[in-house]
Chain A
Amino acid sequence: MTVATVAGHRYEFDASTVESLLESVDPEPIVEHYVVVSGRRFPPKQVLALLTGLDRADFTTHQARAILRRLGFGVHRRSQGADPGGAGAPASTTGDPSGLEAHAGRWVAQVGSEIVYAADDPGSVTRWLRRHGRRARVWRVPANPGDAGSMLSSP
């Protein structure tokens, strides 16, 4: 449990509430800062606005980052370059430059080498793109040689 005062209001937060609240929420595009919750990336202000019901103008990114960090979530900055994924994308743990390993078998929106969104079906991905005015490659990242049209796999 974390207690914080935001815009003059006192709130009590806990990590499991944050996780369950965000289960059905689509991440917005990441501009610079993000927090990883249940393997997906969200703008910190989006999360704190959902938690508090406050307008995003009522608090700063710094406040949102600090509260979410105290709750135990990883908060990061895109420009640090350590994170190849984008909004909604599970954190890559493999270190592959494209970040594709973590998304094998999932539908993704990819811009350059960056995965900006991931979902379980193409319709969810295209709807997200249109909601946010983005343009991207949309595909299901191959999870096995069959997805890639090959019966053989590299040793």
Chain B
Amino acid sequence: MIVPYTELPRAAGNWPRPLLDVSFGDVEDVLVPCLVDSGAVHTLVPAWVAADSGVGLDQAPPVAFGIGGGSTRARFATVRLAADRYAWDAEVGFCDPWPYSWGLLGHASFFRYFTVTFRAADGEFELLPIAR
């Protein structure tokens, strides 16, 4: 699966980013762009995604941590993620507040399932699922 980088408005820095559209839970009509972030451990998205996807977080204790120069609280749950024809179950942290325009795909719940090749010069990245 080859995905073009997403171009951004000039005010946001104008540098294209490797964003992957991911759906969460049983919701197929809402695709949440997530940064394929080799510097991230966890997969983190804004809390509205959990509410929209019907992911129950009542039993999940909040975990506080710093992000983007501020702080946030995440509640983690294991949910089904899907991107194009691939789907996998992974732990996701739903965060409030959330500073970014996209979610983050990290090692623990994304890179362990895919081999990712970045081709920044070509403005694209490639995903290959790891056989399990």
Contacts and interface: CB of A to CB of B under 8 A. Distances in A.
Nearest to A137: B31
A142 B101 contact: yes
Interface residues of A, number: 34
Interface string A114-155: 000000001100100110011111111111111111111110
A98 interface: yes
Given A146-B99, A149-B68, A100 B7 contact: yes
A70 B68 CA distance: 50
Contacts of B59: none
B89 interface: no
Contacts of B48: 122-123
A139 to B, nearest CB: 5
Interface of B: 7-15, 17, 21, 28-33, 35, 46, 48, 52, 68-69, 99-102
Shortest Cβ-Cβ A-B pairs, 3 listed: A142-B12, A142-B101, A135-B29
27 contacts: A96-B10, A98-B7, A101-B9, A101-B11, A103-B9, A104-B11, A126-B29, A126-B30, A135-B29, A135-B30, A136-B29, A137-B31, A138-B30, A139-B33, A139-B101, A139-B102, A141-B101, A142-B12, A142-B13, A144-B11, A146-B69, A146-B99, A147-B99, A148-B8, A148-B13, A152-B13, A154-B13
